[in-house]
Amino acid sequence: MIAHAADRRERLAGEGFTIDLVASDLNRRLQVLDAEVDDPTAAVAALVRRAAQAGYGKVFWKAPAALADELVAAGLRAEATIDGYYDGENATVVAAYPDPDRAHRRDALEQDAILAAVRSRAPRPEPRPLPGGYRAATATAADAHDLARLYGEVFASYPFPITDPDYLVATMRGHVVYRVVRDDDGRLVAAASAETAPHHRNAEMTDFATLPDQRGLGLALGLLAALEDEMARRAIPNLYTIARARSAGMNHVFANRGYRWTGTLVNNCHIAGRFEDMHVWCRRLA
């Protein structure tokens, strides 16, 4: 992960733990990246104390399942599972809320109704053909300015600086595969990415955006299918996404491709101008 310009990498260390994390002013949270923990109670106390000192409302950790049980016993809350996250072993997303208001799901009834409707529908996994004259491709550095412009038009805010062309190029040259669609005039109208972790054989399917006048054409489903094919070629079988709970369309896209809902992350990140709940969906490629 390449951090947002306002994010800082930090290390917390004490008797019984060493924790590497990202402190995000935009998302008002601490995200644990890696940790060695012998004393879960001390580790949890240090994280909550550091978050409170920074004025952050959330601590967020994709923990190995065995450690997660101990972290929950020490006071964290399990919110979701990410299937196969650690080279086939599951991760549990655990959280703490130093700000109790951050733990409140303000749109829970509406979002739960969307989720129920999505999960009740029969999957429709096959993407439609692109409209005449449209073309899809893996993005290169030459696409970065158009891609940044697309993200700026679609999102009022985003957890990572995808409106910065330099950030996009840096991630392209690293661990992120971007897929884009251009219309018959050459305008970049839709995009998505796969943020890969080859050493753990997982990828987050993310950064989906379609211009408003292009929605309803099935572009997101086609982007997802193409990225899955690329992950299969790279022998990365464990796929997941963290999708906005109030976006019926994106949740339908993942359900259609056979992803399984595994939990909801409460007020997890700042996106589209506010903190939002995010649904976790997982799929293991055959």
Reported confidence tier of residue 6, pLDDT bands at 50, 70, 90 = low
The pLDDT score that the predictor gives to residue 11 is 98
The pLDDT score that the predictor gives to residue 107 is 94
Instruction: Provide the greatest CA pair distance for the chain.
Output: 63
What are 33-49's pLDDT values in tens digits?
A: 999 999 999 999 999 99
pLDDT at 3 over 50: no
Reported confidence tier of residue 2, pLDDT bands at 50, 70, 90 = very low
Cα 251 to Cα 253: distance, rounded to the nearest angstrom = 5
What are 218-258's pLDDT values in tens digits?
A: 999 999 999 999 999 999 999 999 999 999 999 999 999 99
Where along the chain do the CATH 3.40.630.30 domains lie?
A: 7-103, 108-284
CATH 3.40.190.10 fits 7-103, yes or no: no
Query: Mean pLDDT throughout 197-213?
Result: 98
Cα 116 to Cα 263: distance, rounded to the nearest angstrom = 13
Reported confidence tier of residue 180, pLDDT bands at 50, 70, 90 = very high
What are 118-155's pLDDT values in tens digits?
A: 999 999 999 999 999 999 999 999 999 999 999 999 99
Whether 259 and 282 have beta carbons less than 8 Å apart is answered as yes
What are 240-251's pLDDT values in tens digits?
A: 999 999 999 999
Cα 98 to Cα 47: distance, rounded to the nearest angstrom = 10
Whether 152 and 144 have beta carbons less than 8 Å apart is answered as no
**CATH superfamily name and code, 108-284:** Gcn5-related N-acetyltransferase (GNAT) (3.40.630.30)
The pLDDT score that the predictor gives to residue 4 is 46
pLDDT at 110 over 90: yes
